Amino acid sequence: MSTSVKISSESKKRLEQLQAMLTLKLGRKIPQHEILDALIKLGTSNIDDLIKYFSKLKFPLSSSEIRKVLSLPSDWGVRTSEKEINKVVYDVEDQI
């Protein structure tokens, strides 16, 4: 069974480069889906490396980024009850 997965054009380019390198080294073309399958197997057996990779990304937010996000909401001068918020956000009447 196959499933579509969206990847960025940069990732697609890198996948094609990886495929070309494997073809040169192995002397035969490896289909991209097999390369992705192998990468997923390698990732699951090296979960600590994946955690290190993702922890280097911009998560969690820095203090200045948190302050920037918290400064975005503004008071519109409208009073809103918890009941109204629950209705809009969760589409439920009253859960309190």
Average pLDDT on 52-73 reads: 80
Which of 7-11, 17-21, 30-34, 59-63 shows the lowest mean pLDDT across its residues?
59-63
Q: Is residue 36 packed enough to be buried (19+ CB in 10 Å), middle (13-18) or exposed (0-12)?
A: middle
- Assigned domain for 25 exists: yes
State residue 88's pLDDT score: 84
- Assigned domain for 96 exists: no
- Report the share of the chain in percent with pLDDT over 90: 43
Report the C-alpha gap between 31 and 23 in whole angstroms: 10
Q: How confident is the model at residue 61 (pLDDT cuts 50, 70, 90)?
A: confident
- Assigned domain for 33 exists: yes
Domain extent for 30: 9-73
* Higher per-residue pLDDT: 94 or 65: 65
| Number of domain units in the chain | 1
Q: Which residues contact 49 (CB under 8 A, 6 or more apart)?
A: 43
